[in-house]
Amino acid sequence: MRLKKLRTGAAMILAAAALLAPQQEFKMVIRDGMPAISFALPKFAAASPPVQTAADEIHQVLTDDLKYSRIFQLLPKSYYDYIRAIDPKAIQFKDWESVQANLLFTGEAAEAEGGETAFIRNLYDVKSQRPILIPKRYQAKKADLRFLAHRMADEIMKAYGEKPVFESKIAFVSNRDGNLELYRMDYDGANQERLTFTKWEDKSPSWSPDGNMIAHTSYINYSAGLYISQIYEGRRIAVSTRGGNFSPCWSPDGKKLAFMSTMDGNAEIYVADIDDDALKRGAFRIKRLTFNPGIDTAPTWSPTGRQLAFVSDRSGTPQIYTMDAEGSNVTKVSFGDSTHHDSPAWSPAGDRIVYVARVDNVFDLYVLDLRSLQIQRLTESNARNESPSWSPDGRHIVFTSNMRGGLQLFLIDYDGAGLRQLTTKGQNNWPDWSY
């Protein structure tokens, strides 16, 4: 994939520098409960009809991204009818202020060498009439236009102090080609791609923080071993093959891998140290964290890396517990001893844990607020909803459900809004959202 910044004309650079020099960097951090920012995204200008098609594709993907962000609220298209058509080289900011736009994004597309598309983007604060981002040019192949739009959407997110999410990937398992294999896709379900090609079943993928490796269970020789696949190098490394090994989860710094194993007979939580030497030699130092006759499983790291949440039936039914990263200070945090709890996932901000609870034989997603200890039910579909994983910005959750027939992957916002389906082919399970 190639996405490169074009050479910018000297006049454009000087003009931008003159405009931006007296300003400090514009950055605003968005918090839950704040109103969405009014965002104007008029149609992009294009030098020719073929280029207009590319410009429209970029515009549509960027529109979808910003709508999904929960940070920006796009102006209704009908508002544009009340003001003059935009000229990117002579913007009438008073027009955009009259329709209550806070931000204005403009784009111009032109033909580039090799049949590629050149694109110039600008983002302005309407009230101050100043650019928020330095003007920037890109060049992309037709196949990379979606990636270009995602890149620009992430640049906007970062300008507002938010974690980028639109270039992130979701790993999952599917049997659409006959065998349970690892796949990945864009956050919005586009570009679904198979990653593994073996005769063995793969399950429970977990992205490394750098996005270059996936830890997972693989039934090589019919034994549930824990492996790390270096997806860009085509190398698979065994971490633990004694007993059954499941539910891997990377620490935020990528230096440890927590997982459940029966290597000592009982289902317990273990942690493997991960470094370049261990990966090269295929030899890992593994430490056992839990020592309890009950079943301990499904570990998930806090964003600080100082704690783990996990599931244990040590009190009689599967409940959610937390412990320090070294295995001490075990604390029960779930409620309802008659309720089956499973699959906890710690939010990127560290203030919430999403999990699965079985109530009246229905599996739904719930969110536990660790500060207030309040619980919110996210799904109410009378279906089996499982395997939640947070988006990098903590505003969305991907999960597995059979609510529309078969096992498919869905997205939902942290407050239960914005449900959308991502997959349709085969049976799909165990999604994990990259950092």
Q: How is 322-352 classified by DSSP, letter by letter?
A: EEETTS-S-EE----TTSEEEEEEE-TTSSE
- CA angle at residue 182 from 428 to 155, to 5 degrees? 90
pLDDT for position 35: 67
123: its two tokens: 């983002």
Is residue 258 a contact partner of residue 248, using CB atoms and an 8 Å limit? Answer: yes
Tell me the pLDDT tens digit for each residue of 59-101: 999 999 999 999 999 999 999 999 999 998 899 999 999 999 9
Is residue 358 a contact partner of residue 340, using CB atoms and an 8 Å limit? Answer: yes
Q: Would you say the C-alpha torsion 338, 339, 340, 343 has a positive or negative sign? A: negative
Residues of the chain with pLDDT > 70: what percent?
Answer: 92
Is residue 218 a contact partner of residue 205, using CB atoms and an 8 Å limit? Answer: no
How far apart are alpha carbons 114 and 140 in whole angstroms? 10
Query: Which residues, other chains included, contact 145 with Cβ-Cβ below 8 Å and sequence gap of 6+?
Result: 54, 57, 58, 61, 117
Tell me the pLDDT tens digit for each residue of 94-120: 999 999 999 999 999 999 999 999 999
Which of the four pLDDT bands, split at 50, 70 and 90, describes residue 20? very low
Residues 279-303: what's their mean pLDDT? 97
- Confidence check: pLDDT of 31 > 70: no
How far apart are alpha carbons 223 and 126 in whole angstroms? 61
Q: Could you give the C-alpha distances from 356 to 43, 163, 175, 249, in angstroms and in order?
A: 43, 26, 23, 17
Tell me the pLDDT tens digit for each residue of 119-128: 999 999 999 9
pLDDT for position 23: 35
pLDDT for position 126: 97
Which phi-psi region, left, alpha or beta, contains residue 49 (left: φ > 0; alpha: ψ -120 to 50)? alpha
Is residue 182 a contact partner of residue 195, using CB atoms and an 8 Å limit? Answer: yes
- Confidence check: pLDDT of 11 > 90: no
pLDDT for position 17: 33
Tell me the pLDDT tens digit for each residue of 318-328: 999 999 999 99
Parallel, antiparallel, or unpaired for β 256-261 and 245-250?
antiparallel
At position 172, the amino acid (one-letter code) is F
pLDDT for position 335: 83
Is residue 408 a contact partner of residue 430, using CB atoms and an 8 Å limit? Answer: no
Tell me the pLDDT tens digit for each residue of 180-210: 999 999 999 999 999 999 999 999 999 999 9
Residues 336-350: what's their mean pLDDT? 91
pLDDT for position 6: 36
CB count in 10 Å sphere of residue 366: 20
Closest CA to 282 of 224, 214, 227, 221: 227
Tell me the pLDDT tens digit for each residue of 211-252: 999 999 999 999 999 999 999 999 999 999 999 999 999 999
Q: Where are the domains of the chain?
A: 3-159, 169-433
How far apart are alpha carbons 192 and 213 in whole angstroms? 17
Query: Which residues, other chains included, contact 84 with Cβ-Cβ below 8 Å and sequence gap of 6+?
Result: 92, 95
348: its two tokens: 């990127």
How far apart are alpha carbons 336 and 342 in whole angstroms? 13
Tell me the pLDDT tens digit for each residue of 384-418: 999 999 999 999 999 999 999 899 999 999 999 99
**HSE (side-chain half, CA atoms, 13 Å) at 407:** 17
- Confidence check: pLDDT of 280 > 90: yes
Q: Would you say the C-alpha torsion 330, 333, 335, 340 has a positive or negative sign? A: negative
Superfamily per CATH, domain 3-159: TolB, N-terminal domain (3.40.50.10070)
Q: What are phi and psi of 166, to 5 degrees?
A: -80, -20
- Confidence check: pLDDT of 25 > 50: no
Which of the four pLDDT bands, split at 50, 70 and 90, describes residue 32? low
Closest CA to 77 of 68, 65, 85, 88: 85
Is residue 257 a contact partner of residue 239, using CB atoms and an 8 Å limit? Answer: yes
Q: Which CATH architecture is the domain 169-433 placed in?
A: 6 Propeller (2.120)
Query: What is the reported pTM?
Result: 0.89
Beta bridge partners of 133: 123
Which of the four pLDDT bands, split at 50, 70 and 90, describes residue 34? low
Which of the four pLDDT bands, split at 50, 70 and 90, describes residue 359? confident
**Per-residue DSSP letter, 381:** S
Residues 150-168: what's their mean pLDDT? 95
